Structure 1
Amino acid sequence: MTAASLAQRTDQVAAVAAEHLARTDRDASFPVEALAEMRRTGLLGLLVPASHGGLGGTTEDVVTTSIALGRTDMSVAMIFAMHCQQVAALVRYGNQRLRDELLPEIAAGRVYLASVTTEAGKGGHLLSSESALTARDDELLIDRFAPIVTGGEYADGFLVTMQSPAPASPNQVSLVYAHRDQLTVERSGDWQPLGMRASHSVALRLTGTVPAHHVVGEHGDFRTIVTTVFAPMAHLGWSACWLGTAAGALSRVVKLLRGPQSRGRVNLDSELLLTRLSQARQRIETVHALLAHTQQVVATTDDLSVPRVQLLLNSLKITAAEECHQAVDGLIDAVGMRHGYLKDSPTRLEHSLRDLRSAALNYSNDRLHLVDGKLALLDAEVRLA
């Protein structure tokens, strides 16, 4: 797959997302048309190896695509990035039988994956679970409630975290794949958020039975998957989506300011305006540089569990969440009420700001700061990744 081919597929998905953007945000409805285009173009199989019919893409390809989709619709970008996170876990840790059964289906666009990791009482904390997975003969019994499942009502399959069979502690967590037709899927409540409205992250209860070979990795060893795949892919993918959203917002503002409709109405020599634009660009460039550096470290480091790498990954997530939101917030000040605050502005700053407000809450920055404080105490020499 060439870069041009990937860009063309991404542009096709982005065009469909843009066509339905106003409706999906207004109605908090899942972008089914954009998902259908991801299926048709093969983007759902970006990380599936060519040997299983996929595009054989890389983490760098996921980042590039997520940035591009984020420029148009952050919900669509996040749906794509989170699906890729699930695929990456299957490619690396799925057993041969499960990979042979499932990866060709993903590559063909027939399986869109949702992540079931949230749990009432623990939020998005990944390394513990109170929901017990029961083993019976050659089957695994699933009974799992999750308060937030992005795209869950439209998913063809789920990767579900649960407490391992006969665990010694709640921290012995397993990851299990379940196809939709193996489950009873019950929705609970509604989805009416401030932003990220098209992500349609409703609460679901999943009950059913799957074959024993649907466990991904070893029972009780989900921590390894988190350290090597889930956390790196999440922080790289999410940050790329947020970066794309902020960059897209700045691009629309600059095009508006330079367009014929602004001639004679906007003073492009205004020191305040120029300073606001500079600050927004600086924030975006900072996130872009940190994202590129983190991506390189992840690609070239064998042990991602060491404190300096974990600190870098968490710093990327925290910085991207804060700086991208602040960049758009500053642009609202730059262009004022008409083009910063009102919904019908072509800059779409109001929409971007609402979406980006979720970034600091999506695995809370406060929680990550507590983790990073402890990690910092383990590295007195401050060795930088």
Structure 2
Amino acid sequence: MSDSCHEAALTAASVLRKYAAEVDDQARFPVESFAALREAGLLGLVVPTGYGGAGAGLDVYVDVAQVLAGGCLSTALAWAMHCQQTDAIARFGGPELRERVLPRVARGELYIASVTTERGKGGHLLSADAPLDARGGRLRIERDAPVVTGASVAEGFLITMKEGAGLPANAVSLVYADRDALSVAETGEWDTLGMRGTQSLGVRLSGEVPADQVVGGPGGFRDVAVESMIPMAHLGWSACWLGAARAALGELVTGLRGPGRRGPDTASELVRERLARIRVDLELTSGYLHRVEQEVSAARAAGRSLGETVVQIHLNTLKVAASELTFRAADRMMQFAGLAAGYSKTSPLPVERTFRDLRAASLNYANDRLLTATGSLMLLDRSVVLG
């Protein structure tokens, strides 16, 4: 199964690569690339086989994310976040919701966007301001989110809401809604330095859904986040960043070795040393990514909670390290390639776009916030259990 998923990802990545520069230039969602993902069955990668999906484990998820990001990082990140939403429904959704949603995902009919940002609280994941209004077995949603990846095309949304008007901000519920059940008004614009193809517009959502579309139970979002959404995000994002940097380095080295090559003298020890430092950053990222994936997979297989202090430290560390090391590698590639081959948007090498995209990695759920959380967790791990 892993081989077939890898081959499907390679086929889809050729389409992603074809449109990557265009969606970046136009800051539009990569609809052609997502069509390829739908056709390849990759929207249902982590959907259990009982619902028609591939039932892939985290090792396959991480592999496919790297392959897709080698074609287009924006597409790969939007896909990884969709898989994050799908995993949450598969693990914490009620039986009726799973039956309604997961087969559609497996058939490629349903791309699910994440709605966790909120004006006033920013991207703080475990709190919410807008309250649900429960009446007669229905839930009323009124939600304003400043950043939603793929908001313009998503067929479904997973939305964080405060469980009720009189409750504290940390009483958070996660609610699924089909696009057809909502009024979706796009707000603002998406004109950024990098990650332009994610088209992460703001939206105002208004509508009603059945009460059984709460994922994880009323006020139960924290468990969903700890056991599903956070590990899927940190593993998926890190794999995407690594895949993009790896592909850029591959093209850079190919250009140095190919016929009629132009650029630095590869016989130079300084040139080789600079290449080696780029490789070291990517090797470190890859090694820690696979170590943490194995740790999370083993915990899931054994039925252990991912809320353990050491696991949370390792997941946070992975996100911070991957975001910093892959961007440092892109920066070094830029320096190595120079103005014409690296810094120029018209270069056949993807170094310039990869550099801009990876600059966003440390901002995507800010590293400062994660480091503060990790520092607090460290005080509970006196034995310093390393990954």
Q: Which residue pairs with 2:19 in the alignment?
A: 20
- What are the residue-to-residue correspondences of 1:203-214 with 2, within 5 Å? 203-214=202-213
Deviation at 1:166, TM superposition (A): 5.2
Contact in 2 for aligned 1:44/1:106 (Cα 8 Å): yes
Q: Which residue pairs with 1:294 in the alignment?
A: 292
Amino acid at match of 1:273: V
Contact in 1 for aligned 2:162/2:169 (Cα 8 Å): yes
- What are the residue-to-residue correspondences of 1:100-111 with 2, within 5 Å? 100-111=99-110
- The question of 1:86 aligning with 2:103 is answered no
Partners of 1:277 and 1:311 in 2: how far apart? Answer: 31
Amino acid at match of 1:55: A
Deviation at 1:8, TM superposition (A): 2.2
Structure 2 counterpart SS, 1:125: coil
Structure 1 counterpart SS, 2:260: helix
Q: Which residue pairs with 1:193 in the alignment?
A: 192
Deviation at 1:4, TM superposition (A): 2.8
- What are the residue-to-residue correspondences of 1:77-226 with 2, within 5 Å? 77-165=76-164, 168-226=167-225
1:280 to 278, 282, 301: 278
Q: Which residue pairs with 2:51 in the alignment?
A: 52
Deviation at 1:124, TM superposition (A): 1.4
Contact in 1 for aligned 2:43/2:111 (Cα 8 Å): yes
Give CA-to-partner distance per residue, 1:293-335, whole Å, 9 cap, x none: 0001111121211211111000000000000000010111112
Contact in 1 for aligned 2:264/2:271 (Cα 8 Å): no
- What are the residue-to-residue correspondences of 1:284-323 with 2, within 5 Å? 284-301=282-299, 302-323=304-325
Partners of 2:191 and 2:356 in 1: how far apart? Answer: 13
Q: Which residue pairs with 1:372 in the alignment?
A: 374
Give CA-to-partner distance per residue, 1:117-163, whole Å, 9 cap, x none: 01112221111000111101110000001100000110000000000
Amino acid at match of 1:371: A
Deviation at 1:266, TM superposition (A): 3.6
The alignment's TM-score, normalised by the length of structure 2, stands at 0.97
2:365 to 353, 360, 363: 363
Give CA-to-partner distance per residue, 1:222-260, whole Å, 9 cap, x none: 100111001100000000000001101110100000011
Partners of 1:117 and 1:261 in 2: how far apart? Answer: 50
Q: Which contiguous aligned blocks of 4+ residues in structure 1 show a shift greater than 2 angstroms?
A: 165-168
Amino acid at match of 1:51: G
Partners of 2:17 and 2:295 in 1: how far apart? Answer: 34
Give CA-to-partner distance per residue, 1:48-103, whole Å, 9 cap, x none: 11111111111221111100011121101101100000000000000001111111
Contact in 2 for aligned 1:167/1:220 (Cα 8 Å): no
Deviation at 1:12, TM superposition (A): 2.2
Partners of 2:106 and 2:91 in 1: how far apart? Answer: 16
Give CA-to-partner distance per residue, 1:28-47, whole Å, 9 cap, x none: 01100011111111111111
Deviation at 1:384, TM superposition (A): 2.6
Amino acid at match of 2:297: A
Structure 1 counterpart SS, 2:130: coil
5+ unaligned residues in a row in structure 1: which ranges?
A: none
Contact in 2 for aligned 1:134/1:165 (Cα 8 Å): yes
- The question of 1:76 aligning with 2:78 is answered no
Amino acid at match of 1:243: L
Q: CA RMSD in A?
A: 1.1
Contact in 1 for aligned 2:81/2:233 (Cα 8 Å): yes
Contact in 2 for aligned 1:272/1:334 (Cα 8 Å): no
Partners of 1:218 and 1:78 in 2: how far apart? Answer: 27
5+ unaligned residues in a row in structure 2: which ranges?
A: none
> For this pair of structures, how many residues does the alignment match?
383
